[in-house]
Amino acid sequence: MSLMHADGLPLPSTWRPLRLETLVLLRWLAIAGQTIGVLFVAYGLGFPVPLAECFGLIGLSVAFNVVMIVRFGAAHRPSSQFAAIQIAYDSLQLGGLLALTGGLHNPFSLLLLAPVSVSATTLPQRATFAIALLVAIIASVVSVWHWPLPWAPSEQIVFNRIYVIGIWVSLICGVVFIAAYTNRVAHDARQIADALAATELALSHKEQLSALDGLAAAAAHELGTPLSTIALAAKEMCSEVEKGTPLAEDVELIIAQAARCRAILAKLRNLGSDGGDPFASVPLTDLLAEVARPHDGHGKAILFYHEKAAGPAPVFKRSVGLLYGLGNLIENAADFARQRVRVEAGWDTEAITVTITDDGPGFPPELIARLGEPYLTTRARDPQGPDADKPGGLGLGIFIAKTLLERTGARLAFLNIEANGHAQVKIVWPRGVDGAEIG
């Protein structure tokens, strides 16, 4: 048994484009803060500040913002490369202001971490690495080449070189930590969000199919009465018309077509009773046989076992999530089994247990602890192999099955029961879990 995929589900996204309005708003906040800071130091504290140069850089950001809004509009979602270019510009602009106002002596040099933080939470890893490298270079340059820190002309302030090196080291450590840790956390969060969305999509599809079954049965019920009336009227007409005439042939055709319609409606009525009613209840043994039926007869034997001495089989609500989750796991086992799949059900006064075991190669030992995570797959794409025409797995199948079954109150465990494979999935429901067992 290996990790399966859900056809048609999207690959995990590593980049969720922000609106240009968000980047522009952040830049306006930076412009406002820079302007207030420069004016306060120059006029509030009375320290000498290169106002022309500083306001030249601030004015450049103002012009950049205006051009972005006019050219693309606030609702535009830039590509990751374009967003990275904008953040790189913000880093360079901030580095220029620091170079004009004391370099790393300036306490506002800590703001160099801001572009890295924005990049780590919103951009792909490669772009984040580039921004982090750029900020590290800027910090290194302004630590050596910079204008004096604005200070009172009557006082002399001297910074020990070791102290400046300490500031530089702290900034580099902050850049590395934010770029690595924050980007990883944001990436994992995006993966979970994407996988949950795929789960909801799959569940919604199954619910629509179930609703369609009920709608078909209801339509068949409503159409049955007028169709019976048509058939009865046609039979009465047949007894009154002369045999062998064109009118008699038309009446016989109506009777034949009415009978055909009744047969079709009978099939539609049965759709709702063939496991499609989400409000129906079913014993666990019948439920397992139902979800395994579509995967039987494909050259793999699916064998069922249950403990008869533990009392009657527990009854479950035939929910879409339960059917989909169990069906996914049994399908996965059948796909990777060599000859047979063993489905065992057991229950006592405390818990209900289902184990699904196959005689295939088993789970890769290094991935067992991570099974159930989204987009974790071992189904390789081998262009020269016998399965070259089959797509590689997205690793969503087990995640979806695990998520749906856990919503019913179950807990899942994955293991290999033998050294040479034989993967097993163990599903346990505590007795009395709401939504799982009702009898």
Residues 189 and 80 in one domain: yes
Q: Is residue 3 a part of any domain in this protein?
A: no
| Pairing label, strands 351-358, 315-317 | unpaired
Q: Is residue 31 a part of any domain in this protein?
A: yes
Q: Which of 244, 271, 298 is the last residue of a domain?
A: 271
Domain containing residue 222 = 208-271
Q: Is residue 4 a part of any domain in this protein?
A: no
Residues 330 and 290 in one domain: yes
Residues 6+ apart with CB under 8 A from 222: none
Residues 108 and 214 in one domain: no
DSSP 3-state percent helix, strand, coil across the chain (nearest 5): 60, 10, 30
Q: Is residue 121 a part of any domain in this protein?
A: yes
* Amino acid, single-letter form, for residue 68: M
Is residue 276 within 8 A of residue 221, CB to CB? The reply is: no
Q: Which of 143, 172, 200 is the last residue of a domain?
A: 200
The SS3 of residue 329 is helix
Rounded Cα distance, 378 and 397, in Å: 12
Q: What is the pLDDT of residue 299?
A: 76
Q: Is residue 97 a part of any domain in this protein?
A: yes
* Amino acid, single-letter form, for residue 410: A
Is residue 109 within 8 A of residue 98, CB to CB? The reply is: yes
| Pairing label, strands 301-306, 281-283 | unpaired
H or E segment at 365? none
Q: Is residue 420 a part of any domain in this protein?
A: yes
Residues 38 and 172 in one domain: yes
Q: Is residue 15 a part of any domain in this protein?
A: no
Per-residue pLDDT of the chain (439 residues; tens, 9 = 90+): 433 433 343 444 445 567 888 899 999 999 999 999 999 999 999 999 999 999 999 999 999 999 999 998 887 888 889 999 999 999 999 999 999 999 999 999 999 999 999 888 888 888 889 999 999 999 999 999 999 999 988 888 888 889 999 999 999 999 999 888 887 777 677 666 666 666 666 666 656 555 555 555 666 666 777 878 888 888 888 877 777 788 888 888 888 888 878 777 776 665 544 444 544 678 888 888 888 888 776 678 888 888 765 678 888 887 777 888 898 899 888 888 888 999 999 888 888 999 999 998 888 888 888 787 766 655 543 333 444 333 334 456 787 788 778 878 899 999 999 888 889 999 999 987 544 444 4
Residues 348 and 285 in one domain: yes
Residues 212 and 336 in one domain: no
Q: What is the pLDDT of residue 66?
A: 95
Residues 57 and 186 in one domain: yes
Residues 150 and 215 in one domain: no
pTM above threshold 0.75:
no
Residues 361 and 413 in one domain: yes
DSSP bridge pairs for 281: 317
Give the phi and the psi of residue 117 in degrees, each rounded to 5.
-65, -45
Q: Is 23 left (phi over 0), alpha (psi -120 to 50) or beta?
A: alpha
Q: Is residue 396 a part of any domain in this protein?
A: yes
Q: For position 300, which CATH number holds?
A: 3.30.565.10
Q: Which of 247, 271, 295 is the last residue of a domain?
A: 271
Residues 300 and 343 in one domain: yes
Q: What is the pLDDT of residue 343?
A: 92
Q: Where are the alpha helices (DSSP H) in 40-180?
A: 51-72, 80-100, 113-122, 125-144, 161-177
Report the chain's terminal Cα–Cα distance, integer Å: 32
Is residue 379 within 8 A of residue 396, CB to CB? The reply is: no
H or E segment at 370? none
The SS3 of residue 303 is strand
- Tokens matching residue 92: 């360079």
Residues 177 and 94 in one domain: yes
DSSP bridge pairs for 423: 416
Q: How many domains does the chain have?
A: 3
Residues 39 and 154 in one domain: yes
- Look at the chain and count its residues: 439
